[in-house]
Amino acid sequence: MLQRLNVRDREKPEAARKRFDGQLGVRAWATPGSEAKQPEPREAGAPWWWDNAEDASQSFLASMGVNLT
């Protein structure tokens, strides 16, 4: 399916996959041999990709290169 994914001009394939996931409303794909997680309830009005404030802050710090270990 991803091989036929329409990648727009000047769009990275990763961005196209995220857009496709958003269209399907999928936050994470299960892999064979792993248990499928039940999604936690989201805050009212939160976008499909929002998990929680802690996850958002951690992913932001990681994208900025901050490592708090």
Check pLDDT > 60 for residue 1. no
**4-50 tens-digit pLDDT:** 888 888 988 888 888 888 788 777 777 788 776 666 677 778 776 67
Residue 33 lies in a domain: no
Residue-level pLDDT at 66: 86
Residue 52 lies in a domain: yes
If you average pLDDT over residues 41-65, what whole number do you get? 77
The full 3-state SS of the chain, as one line of letters, equals CHHHCCCCCCCCHHHHHHHHHHHHCCCCCCCCCCCCCCCCCCCCCCCCCCCCHHHHHHHHHHHCCCCCC
Domain membership of residue 67 as a residue range? 1-26+47-69
Check pLDDT > 70 for residue 57. yes
The pTM (predicted TM-score) of the whole model is 0.43
C-beta of residue 27 within 8 angstroms of C-beta of residue 49: yes
Domains identified in the chain, total number: 1
If you average pLDDT over residues 47-69, what whole number do you get? 77
